[in-house]
Each structure stands twice: as C-alpha cells, then as structure tokens.
Structure 1
Amino acid sequence: MATDESVVRRYYLFRATNAAGFYLPISVLYLLDQGFGLGFVALVQATFSLAMLAAEIPSGYLGDRIGRRASLAVGNLLRAAGMAGYAFVDTPAGFVAMQAVWATGWAFRSGTGDAWLYELLARTCDDDEFARIKGRGSTVLLLTSAVTAIAGGLLYGVAHELPFLLSATLAVSGVPVLYTFPSVRVADEDADAFTVREAVRMLRVQASRESVRWLVAYVALFYGLFGLARMVEQPALDALGVPAAGLGVVFAAFKLVSAGAASTAGWFEERLGARGVLGLLVPVFAVAFVLGALFPVFLVPTFFLYRSARSVVQPVQNQYLNDRLADVGRATVLSGVSMVLSLSSGLLKLALGGIAEQLGPLAFLPRAGAALVVVASLLWILTRPVRSGGGTTAVSGGGAAASD
C-alpha cells in the first residue's frame, strides 16, 4: 500500500504539539528555587510516574472504547491543565496534585498514541512502516523540543512561570490537529463489545507470554534508570557550573542528538532487529557508568546517551509488541506495558531519592546506574527477553489464545 504523505505530515505536526521543551530544562530548578530539596523533587517525579501507573489501564481502556482521537484529545487538555496549574501553585500538596493531573494526561497518550498510529497506518498506509514513521515523528518532536528548550531557558530568567504557560498553550493547539485525521476503528466487528473483563483477561494472557513478559521486565530496568537520570541531571549540570540560561542550550542539544538517534530507529530495527538493539543496552551503559564513576564530567555525554538510546529503543520495543497484539485491546495492553514502566521509574525514585540527596547527583548516578546494569545483564542471560516469532493474541467470549 502506498504511503499517504498527507496523513504522515499531519501526524508529524501533531507530534510537534507534544513537545516538552519549554519547561524541560528548568522543571527541577523551579522546585529547587521554591526552596525544596532533591528529596522532594524525587517525591514529585515519583508522583508523576505512579499517577501514570494509576491512569494507564483506564486511559488505555477508554482509548479502545471511545476512540483514539477523543482519548488523545483528553490527554492533551489534561496535560495543559497540569502545566498551567504548575505556574500558580506554591505548596507541596499543590505541586503533587499538578503532577498527578499532568501525568494523567500523559497516560492518555502513552498506550493509545501507539495503537492509534499503528491502526491509522494500517488503514491509510502500511503498518510495516510503524517503526520508521514513529521514529521520524519522534525526531520532529525532539527538534521542536530543542527549539523550545532554548526559549524556555531564556524565558525562565524573565518570569519563572512562562515556560509552563507556553507548554500548556502548545498542548491545547494539538487538539484541532487531531480532528483532521480520519476516524480509526478496530477491525474486529465485535470491538464495541470489548468489556472490562475482557481487558483484564487480555492483560493476564499477555503477561503469561514469555516473549512479552520478560521483554517488559528488561526494558523496565532501563526506564527506571532513565527516570533516575532525569531526576538528577539538572542539579548535576548545575554542580558542574552550567547556569540556568545555559541549561536551555544544553537541553536543546539533548533534543537534537536524540532527534538524530530517533530518525535511525527504523534503520536499527531493520539491520539488528529488536534483539540486537536491546541487547546493546547493557554493554553500552556499563562502559558509560564506569567512566562516570571515575570522571564525573563523563556524566554529561551519558545524559546524551540515555536520551538517544530511549529514542531508538521505544519505537523498536513497540514494533515488537504491536506485532504480537491483535487490534482489539491493543491500546489496553500497551497501556499495561506503560504502567509497568511507570511503576519501575516511580518506585526507584521513591526508594533512592533520599540516597541521591545524601550522595549528591554526581556520586549517586554512576552507582545506581551500575547496579541496574548488572541486574539487566543477569535478566538478559537467564530469561532471553527478546524472542523471534510470536503470533498475535485474541480475546473472545470463549477465551484467549496466545502463541510464542
């Protein structure tokens, strides 16, 4: 099937409205400037992860029930509300509440967004193009975030609240773009009968499949690592002497490098496959954290590395999962995966936030990273998390079937 370039271009435009650049380089500094410590930063960021956890299944289920576009529109509006609210609260409870609203909005995008793109391509283009188009869409998102990150760092010096208000405005602008796309319905004629019981059954079936279960467990370790790095990178850069305005430039560079990496996702998936791409994570990060422990300045390229790795891994990981899922319940299952990843990130932040505050960001990250890489290497050897083959899984009134 020929690719509908108009649909692809509009998808890229929608991805641009999800850019996080305005607030990204100053979100942690904003809390520190309000008089909070790194321990509270860990609590706030853990709240984000755990609120996403609580919202993932309901948001994915709604994506399967009310339609992908409506679910994504709700997500954009909730994210806008959380970001705008962040600029006006000044109490610990207020910041925690805004993080919960913000996270709920992200949850509406996580599983539903990939299911929507996969099915949109199946209807208008070619679902085999998912990894390539998803990767290029991430490139657009990252480039937009790079430009807005520079602006956010500069605007923070004008008024601390401006980056959050502009982020909210950008999120709202994505809603009308969504409604330029054709409606996507699941192919199964019984999709309207997809019930909560069948959603739970689908999740149970997928969790029983080794080709899915161990992949999610393995990737969750690295998502936890990414979460810890995001928690400490702004204070780490501050400790290395980077000023607030300079953080915007640094984060723009993060996004540009990540954009280049995201554009290669399809290339890596075609040449190395999911097993080759995911298998490289252990040796690459092992070297990075050894160097970071010996020479703290090497944490700066490590920040570039983990962001780039995530940009490549996410579309490859989701292509692997999508190829093993049926249309009915796809968003619910992908939301279940995001739920596990959010849980991993949130629990690690809660468990290690106090230690990070005691050790300081430059000493904490190499130690935490090395420990997680060791666990990931053992999981890779013992469970073989990425497997070839594996058919789709369907849930019906008579039961569920899975193959590995």
Structure 2
Amino acid sequence: MSLRSRLPSRVVATYYAYQATLSFGFFAPVFTIFLLARDLSYTEIALLSTESAILTVVGEVPSGYLGDRLGRRASLFVSTTAMTLSIAGFVVAESFPAFVLLYGLWALARVFRSGTGDAWLYETLRDRLDDEGRFTAVRGRGRAVNLGVTVLATLAGGALYTVQPALPFAVSAGLHALGVPILLSFPKTAAFNDGRDATVSIRATARVVREQLTAPGTQTVVGVAAVFFAYTNTVNSYVQPTVRDIVGLPVSFLGPLYAGFTFVSAVAGYYTGAVDARVGSRRTVFITAPLVILGVGLVTLFPLLAIPAFLAYKGAETLLRSVTAGFLNDRVTDAGRATTLSAASMTYALARLPLLVAAGAFADRRGPQPVFGAVAAVCLLTIALLWLATRRVTAHT
C-alpha cells in the first residue's frame, strides 16, 4: 500500500486540523482551581454549570434547526467565534456576574456546534467520499487528534498557571481563533449546494426528530447515554480539588496528570470505530456506562482509586460520544440531521440539570470526595429503572 493511499483525504485532513484547534488543554487542568481562586464557591460553580445546561436545553434544538436551514459552516462559524470570545473573557473576569456572561457565551458556542459538526462530517463523507460508514472512525480519530493536541497543552497548562493564572486562557483563545480560517475552507455539503435543506419546514423537522428519538431502541440508548454524560459532567468539577486535597498532588503536577487523562481519551477515540464494529453501539453504551459510573463512585470509599477511575471515565466519555453520534446519524435523514443530534444533546443537558446544583451544595457541606458516590448511586438507580422500563415495553410488544 502506497503512502498516498494511507493518508487521509484533503477534506478529512481539514476536519482533523479544525479539531486540533478546539482543544481546551491549556486551562483544563486548572479550570476549577482557577474559579475557586476567583473566590467562587462550589455552589456558585455549580450554578454556572446549571446556567450552561439550561441554555443548552433551550438552545440546542433551535440551533440545530438553524444548522439544517442556514448551513453547517455558518453555524460552526458562530460557534467558533463565540467560544474564542468566551475563553478570552476569562482572562479579565473577576466577579460572579462576569462569569455568568461568559458561561452564556460558552453555551451558545456549544449548541451551535453540537449537532451541526457531526451532521457536516457525516454528509461530507457521504457526498465527497461515498463512505458515510467511516463516520464513527473518522469522528473518533478527529477526537484523537484533538486530544493529542490537548496532551501537549495540558503539560504546559499547570506551568502557565503558576506564571500567571489567566495565561492558560489567553493562549487557548489564540488557538481557538486559528480555527476560523480553517473552518472557512470547509466545503459545503451537497444538500446546501443544491438548496434541498432550505425547503424543510419546522413541522417536518419536528416530526423527523420525534420519530427518531422516540423509537424504542433509540430511546433507550439515548437515555442511558444521557445518564452517563450527566454523571461525568456533574463530577468533573470535583476531580481537581479531590486530586489536590485528597490524593495530595500539587498543582504543578495537574498538567501531566491531565495529559495522562487526555492520552487515554485519545486512544479511546482512535479505536472507537473498531469497538463499535466489533461490540455494537447498543452493547457498548449499555455495558460501559454503568461499569464506569460504579468505578468512579467507589472513589468516595477508596480514594486511592481516584486516578485510575478518572482515567477510565475520561476514556469512556470520548468513546460513548462518538458511538452515540454514529448510532443516531445512521438513523436519521439529512432533513433533520443537525436538529436530531442537537435534540439528543439537549436530552443530555436536561439529564444533568437536577444533579448540578444539588451536587454543588452537597460539596460545600461535605467536601468534593463524597459527591462521586452520591451521584453515582442516583445515576445507577436511574439506569436500572430505564432498563426495567425497556424490558417491560419489549415484553408487551
């Protein structure tokens, strides 16, 4: 096999380059510590996460619909610009109201990318390469590229923080800004070149979304994935203080630690396609989600499990995001593709809403370590109830 045949196509290589600019690695190892140093409490940090989740719930479907109507590149341009401005704002933000504004901008960026980015990739692979079956593998490898950059960035993040706490955000804003010219070189998908998607009505799109997300098999996969992502998103704020205060790792070592987290995620992303092909989407979700939640929950009782448990959940999160995106893409038409993927993301955000503030208040009273077990118990019970409900529906049909 020649070297040329082994290299990715130009459009896939451009997608990989764009993914490289989306890394949060420079500030990820110190994000919670940075907010605590700005005199925010765990409850205030949880409120910020709740704000982001609420805005995601409100904005996901409209932003996905706009992605279906106006074009994938336009939505991604809004996302990249908003994210760059949000990260840059952390350099100067000092008060809780300022962070409220920045989290709102951050949420806007996320909702304009969540469904649209996957929709663009799936349709481009189909239209340009006649190979939409590679979606899960290409998305996973794109995520691996992103995480590869993140490994290098996290190694520098802790050191940059010790020089000046806002410096990691300044460097990260510059990296995100590089994504704009790369994004503008993206080709339009065929649907937007010939105007097909411009004729889709809101009612028709809503019908597609409802049919896809309420199908029995799809409903269960999305439900279990939503519980898993709710768990990882909720406990993520307590990883850094737990590692620093309970495990005893100094702040300067958080960068290398997060580089390890990211390396595991990159490996998981690279092999997502192989796992999906061998195990299957449903089985991957149903096995991985409860096992990882249980493992991380045990950190409350056994603190020495913290680092291996956190490694497992970082890798599993990357794996399941690509697997669920591929699962949904294979079951929806172009007319409502971005809207359906955004609706799934809205479901994920909605699932974490009741956990965020409760976990923040609990952490202010009991400390960060007990949060892992308490939230795990709630999530495992929810997954069990979903499984029982599915069995009951299957038995009646």
What is the CA distance between 1:197 and its match in structure 2?
3.0
Q: Which runs of 5+ in 2 are unaligned?
A: none
For 1:124 and 1:288, how far apart are their aligned partners in 2? 42
CA contact (8 A) 2:221 2:286 kept: no
- The equivalent residue for 1:231 is 237
TM superposition shift of 1:357:
1.9
Check the 8 A contact 1:258/1:311 in 2, yes or no.
Answer: yes
User: Which residue is equivalent to 1:89?
Assistant: 93
Q: Distance in 2 between matches of 1:307 and 1:262?
A: 10
**Structure-1 separation of matches of 2:33 and 2:304:** 20
Measure the CA separation in 2 of the matches of 1:190 and 1:179: 21
* 8 A contact 1:282–1:377 mirrored in 2: no
Task: Please show how residues 245-284 of structure 1 align to structure 2 within 5 Å.
Answer: 245-282=252-289, 284=291
Map of 1:342 onto structure 2: 349
Distance 2:221 2:282 in 1: 10
Residue 281 of structure 1 deviates from its aligned partner by: 2.2
Encode CA deviations 1:90-127: one digit per residue, 9 max, x unaligned.
Answer: 11111011011011111111100100100010012210
Shift of 1:363: 1.7
Report the AA paired with residue 181 of structure 1. Answer: F
Whether contact under 8 Å (1:23, 1:152) holds in the other structure is: yes
Paired-residue identity, %: 34
Aligned length: 386
> Matched residues in 2 for 1:64 and 1:41: separation?
33
Cα distance in 2 for partners of 1:15, 1:276 equals 28
For 2:289 and 2:19, the matched residues in 1 are separated by 30
Partner of 1:169: 174
Which residue does 1:40 correspond to in 2? 44
Q: Does 1:63 align with 2:67?
A: yes
What's the CA shift for 1:283?
5.0
The CA distance in 2 between the partners of 1:263 and 1:384, in whole Å, is 33
Q: TM-score, normalised by structure 2?
A: 0.92
Following the alignment from structure 2 to structure 1, what is the Cα–Cα distance between the partners of residues 8 and 146? Answer: 20
TM-score normalized with structure 1 length: 0.90
Deviation at 1:286, TM superposition (A): 5.7
Shift of 1:14: 0.7
**Are the aligned partners of 2:231 and 2:352 in contact in 1 as well (CA < 8 Å)?**
yes
Q: Which amino acid aligns with 1:70?
A: A
Within-5 A mapping of 1:284-323: 284-285=291-292, 287-289=294-296, 291-323=298-330
Q: 1:9 aligns with which of 3, 13, 31?
A: 13
When structure 1 is superposed on structure 2, of 332-341 and 200-209 the one drifting more is 200-209
How far does residue 351 in structure 1 lie from its aligned partner after superposition?
2.8
Partner in structure 1 of residue 360 of structure 2: 353
Match of 2:215 among 201, 209, 213: 209
For the structure 1 residues 155 and 11, does the alpha-carbon distance in structure 2 shift closer, same or farther, using more than 3 Å as the test?
same
Matched residue of 1:88: which SS?
coil
Q: Which has the higher helix share?
A: 2
Per the TM alignment, residue 345 of structure 1 is displaced from its structure 2 partner at its CA by 2.2
Q: CA deviation at 1:257?
A: 0.8
How many angstroms apart in 1 are the aligned matches of 2:184 and 2:96?
37
Residues 146-205 of structure 1, C-alpha deviation per residue, up to 9 Å, x if partnerless? 111121211111111111122111111111112222211328864211233333333333
Kept in 2: contact 1:45–1:231 (CA 8 A): no
- Describe the superposition over 1:52-74 as per-residue Cα deviations: whole angstroms up to 9, x where unpaired: 22221222112111111111111
Preserved contact between residue 300 and residue 371 of structure 2 (Cα < 8 Å): no
Match for residue 401 of structure 1? none
Whether contact under 8 Å (1:25, 1:251) holds in the other structure is yes
Query: Where does the alignment leave 5 or more consecutive residues of structure 1 unmatched?
Result: 388-403
